[in-house]
Structure 1
Amino acid sequence: MSENIVVIYTDGACSGNPGPGGWGALLHYKEQTKELCGGEMETTNNRMELTAAIKAISALKRRSVVELHTDSTYVKDGITKWMEGWKRNGWKTAAKKPVKNQDLWLALDEAISQHQIRWKWVKGHAGDPGNEKADELANKGMEKFKKKR
């Protein structure tokens, strides 16, 4: 792995779906590591997965080559397979229905525009250290919102 690549692991968590949720991101660049997390009172797991990617990429201070690892096929497939079609179809799915979470897809599209990103799917809860840490951060982000319920 080239040392000029920013390696990011993201995850989202939700209790109830919808319900209180959290997102987490772990960023590695050379010898530096940054941990990010947050949450919302009423959300879904997919919104938290998207938010994790948006927050992680938005934390980059300069144009970067990024390898982003997610356990969400929704995020990976949305950005690599579906988004161009959604744009062409006026943000409608193949079934002519409005794209869910369009606000976050637009924010993600904007966030990635300055970077070269390789999207990698990783199996969740399978012992991958970066994914496990992102999951821990997502749960930490959700915790304070679970207590308010």
Structure 2
Amino acid sequence: MQPPTPVTGDDVELYSDGACDTQAGLGGWATILNCRGRELVLSGGERDTTNNRMELRALLEGLRALKRPCNVRVVTDSQYLRKAFTDSWILKWQRNGWKTSGNDSVKNQDLWEALVEEARRHSLTFVWVKGHAGHGENERVDQLAVTERKKLR
């Protein structure tokens, strides 16, 4: 199987979602990128994972697929993911040596560090949508993530 063709263009809309059986178990992730009328769909899964990890993986893989710097409108139902960027949580974690305000180690530091690197290449704008509320592309990306999770059974 060939790797997907990277999306190119100045303005990209990226939908991402993760799904997990429980807070720790089989998980799937998916992302849909739209640019200039072209669409790229990416998805995958992991065993022994968490929903948050799958949310991070979905965004990371979407950003990695972009061949050059873009203006990326990230549409997500993950408040955790959105707020980490928009409320400067990531900067605070970095200043604290990847510790939370409660002095706990930040979970999924490997993915956060990779996301920081990918995010530097792009201009990201986050839009939060309520999950399972009828938003077409969010519902679609959720179903893709669920399908990937089910493949692992």
Runs of 4+ in 1 over 2 A off after TM superposition: none
Matched AA of 2:42: L
- Structure 1: stretches of 5+ with no match in the other structure: none
The residue that corresponds to 2:84 in the other structure is: 78
* Match 2:33 to one of 17, 23, 27: 27
Matched AA of 2:33: L
Where do 1:89-100 residues align within 5 Å?
89-100=96-107
1:45 is displaced (CA, Å) by 0.3
Where do 1:1-149 residues align within 5 Å?
4-81=10-87, 82-145=89-152, 147=153
3-state SS of paired residue (2:98): coil
Cα contact 1:37–1:140 (8 A) shared by 2: no
Cα contact 2:10–2:69 (8 A) shared by 1: no
Q: In the aligned structure 1, how far is the partner of 2:109 from the partner of 2:81?
A: 12
3-state SS of paired residue (1:38): strand
Cα contact 1:6–1:29 (8 A) shared by 2: yes
1:55 is displaced (CA, Å) by 0.4
Q: In the aligned structure 1, how far is the partner of 2:126 from the partner of 2:13?
A: 10
Q: Deviations over 1:90-136 (max 9, x none)?
A: 11111111111111111111111100010111110011111011101
TM-score for both structures, normalised by structure 2: 0.90
Matched AA of 2:150: E
Q: In the aligned structure 1, how far is the partner of 2:150 from the partner of 2:35?
A: 28
Q: How much identity, in percent, do the aligned residues show?
A: 46
1:140 is displaced (CA, Å) by 1.7
3-state SS of paired residue (2:66): coil
Cα contact 1:12–1:45 (8 A) shared by 2: yes
Q: Deviations over 1:49-78 (max 9, x none)?
A: 000000011111111010001100111111
Name the Cα RMSD after superposition: 1.2
Aligned length: 144
1:16 is displaced (CA, Å) by 2.2
1:4 is displaced (CA, Å) by 4.2
- Structure 2: stretches of 5+ with no match in the other structure: 1-8
